[in-house]
Amino acid sequence: MIVSPNTSVMPISASVNDAGHLVLGGCDTVKLAEEFGTPLYLIDEATIVASIAACSAGLSSYRNSRILYAGKAFLCTAMCRLIAKHGLGLDVVSEGELYTAIQADFPGQLLFLHGNNKSEREIEMALSYGQVRIVVDNSSELELIAATAKRLGKTVSIMLRLIPGVTPDTHQHTQTGQSDSKFGIPLDELDSMIEQALRHKDVLKLLGLHAHIGSYILDLKPFVESVNVLADTYAKVKDAFALELPDLDVGGGLGVAYTEDSKPISLFEWAQAMAEHTTSAFGERHLKLPNLFVEPGRSIVGTAGVTIYRVGHCKQVSGSRYIAVDGGMADNPRPITYQARYTAAVANRMHAPACAQPTTLVGRFCESGDIIVKDANLSADTGDLIAVFATGAYHYSQASNYNRTGRPACLLVNNGVAEVIIERESNSDLTRLDRIPDRLKR
């Protein structure tokens, strides 16, 4: 049986020990909180490995395919090393993500640089590292890439990002494939972009097309629709330019289970559908099968993550009970940004019954919208530990220093061992970049 961890709220290693404590990766979360403090991000390595295995199994029928991990979901040097160990490529979208990959000695030929507003500095860094593929977003960017390559005496492999005109059923802030998207090239401008790329064929090697329709998508239909658009486009490119592009990147965006009523398709099923439908769509159009790339991010790491908080003060307001914890929107901005819903439990008393009255889990930050779980209904009190599940993706990567708080530490847990992969930020870290003008020192 192939396990697809994206369909379960908890990491696959989650259990409860005899003391009633939540255990992740063989580690007692109560002991971890005592040793490393809270808030605390935990990443279960076994869940990541199982997710990679599920995706790989789904792609197994397609001879030339590769998983590219979308680093924007969660990235640090240890994560780079972990996915490289399992043969994945890596998507990066900024100078900082590219620098992180370089610091981890990630293979350049497996790096893909994305983004809708790449700077000359980012492009130069990619070209200097060697063999990094660049996914081109627009015409002026293409000219900048060509000019930078000529200046450095380099050649660069590129793909063109298309707007496929597919709108998935997800939050409007996470849709990227609709016709008015800020990302990518409209279909009716593709021919001119290809012509532009071919004019620079001395330094640009056009390998294929890319499309990404959005994030947190729970069903297959929009993914299949996007593959159809891409296959039609490859056929048109062949007719217009006598050019059969060797590579195809169908993007990612598969959702995960944040609550028990979340029903995402499994990672295995999604990857299998991408492989099978690409095969049939290109076969029906009498096209050579391209090398296939898929870009899961959230579905690889999302349910591997758990955040541990400690309860501070509790109070009654208008018939509801509020449980305040020592974190919130600075370490998890998704509820206030996307109205995201979560599942929480009392980590030091996992068998505790649900609270009979309405209970809301709130953060410590100075915003009324800093609510982690509105209907938590937890029987928790001061000093208890709260576990919030499925916090592996877009949590640390979107975390901030709001209210001058340091970002939490992050641990990788596996086989009873917990290792720090990101240190906790200290108060001195918060002021390290501050400067006082001389006129204010007097």
pLDDT value, residue 319 = 82
3-state secondary structure the chain: CCCCHHHCCCCCCCEECCCCCEEECCEEHHHHHHHHCCCEEEEEHHHHHHHHHHHHHHCCCCCCEEEEEECCCCCCHHHHHHHHHCCCEEEECCHHHHHHHHHCCCCHHHEEECCCCCCHHHHHHHHHHCCCEEEECCHHHHHHHHHHHHHHCCCEEEEEEEECCCCCCCCHHHECCCCCCCCCEEHHHHHHHHHHHHHCCCCEEEEEEECCCECCECCCHHHHHHHHHHHHHHHHHHHHHCCCCCEEECCCCECCCCCCCCCCCCHHHHHHHHHHHHHHHHHHCCCCCCEEEECCCHHHHHHHEEEEEEEEEEEEECCEEEEEECCCCCCCCHHHHHCCCCCEEECCCCCCCCCCCCEEEECCCCCCCCEEECCCCCCCCCCCEEEEECCCCCCHHHCCCHHHCCCCEEEEEECCEEEEEECCCCHHHHHCCCCCCHHHCC
Predicted model pTM:
0.95
Measured distance CA(155)–CA(83) in Å, rounded: 27
pLDDT value, residue 90 = 98
Question: Torsion angle, CA of 103/32/331/86, rounded to 10 degrees?
Answer: 40
| Active-site residue, from 27, 76, 366, 410 | 366
So what's the architecture of 114-295 in CATH? Alpha-Beta Barrel (3.20)
CATH dotted code for 5-43+303-431 = 2.40.37.10
Residues of the chain with pLDDT under 70: 167-181
Q: What is the pLDDT of residues 390-411, one digit of tens each?
A: 999 999 999 999 999 999 999 9
Active site residue 55: no
Measured distance CA(141)–CA(119) in Å, rounded: 9
pLDDT value, residue 348 = 98
What residue segments make up the domains of the chain, in order of their start? 5-43+303-431, 114-295
114-295 and 5-43+303-431 share a CATH fold: no
Q: What is the pLDDT of residues 304-355, one digit of tens each?
A: 999 999 999 999 988 889 999 999 999 999 999 989 999 999 999 999 888 8
Contact yes or no for 24/73 (Cβ under 8 A): no
